[in-house]
Amino acid sequence: MNRFDTAPGRPLWLTTLADLSLLLVGFFVFLQAAQAVDKRALTAGIRAGFDAQPIPMTVDRAVIDGFAAGSAALPAGTASSVDFVRGAAADRRIAVTLTGGTDGDVDPATGSAAILATDRARAVAALLVREGAATPAQIAFAPPGTGGRGVFIDLGFAGERQAVADRQAPLAAPADGAEK
C-alpha cells in the first residue's frame, strides 16, 4: 500500500459533512439559549472578564484650545466651555471625559508630549471642579492624543435608563380639589 491509496472506512467528505452539521446545530442551540439570557448580566460578565469599565455614550463635545507651545497654563476665553459643561453636567448621570492633546510640542521639563497633554487635561479638570461645573466623580481622563494644543471635553451619558413611570409627567390634581 503506498501513501496515495485511500484508507478503508468512511469517505473524508462524510466526516466534513458531519462536522459542519454539528456546528450548525450548535449555532441554533446558541441562538435559542441566548433569547432567555439577561443581557445586562451577560454584558457585565463580559466586561468583568476583560476588566473593562462601561464607556459612556458620547452626547456632545467641546474643546478648549489655544494653549501656548510647551505650556499647560489655561488660555483665555474658557468661560463658554465651563458654562457648556455646567449646563450638561448638572445631570449627575453625565460623565465628563477629558483628552489632552499636543501638536508636537513637548513638556519643557521632561521632553514628553504625553506628559504635557495630560497636564493640560488636568488643568481643565481643576478648572471645571473649581468653577463647580462638574464633580470630581464625573470626570475621567482618556489617553493623551495628538492633533492640536487643546483639551477635548466629551460629555457622555453614563447613567441608567429611567423607568417609564419616571419619564411621564405627573397627573395634575383637579382644580376644584374634588376627586373625579
The residues, any chain, with a CB within 8 Å of residue 77's CB and separated by 6 or more, are: 66
Q: Which H/E stretch holds residue 39? A: helix 39-49
Residue 126: CB atoms within 10 Å = 13
Measured between alpha carbons, how far is 170 from 129 in angstroms, rounded to an integer?
34
Which whole-number Å values give the CA distances from 74 to 78, 156, 170, 176, in the listed order?
A: 8, 23, 45, 58
Residue whose C-alpha cell is 497654563? 73
> Which residues make beta-bridge pairs with 58?
156
- The answer, yes or no, to whether residue 143 has pLDDT greater than 60, is yes
Task: Provide mean pLDDT across the span 19-36.
Answer: 88
pLDDT in tens, 40-60: 777 777 777 777 666 777 888
| Type and span of the H or E element at 145 | strand 145-146
Judged against a pLDDT cut of 90, whether residue 9 lies above it is answered with no
Tens digit of each residue's pLDDT (9 = 90 or more) over 120-133: 999 999 999 999 99
Percent of the chain with pLDDT over 90: 34
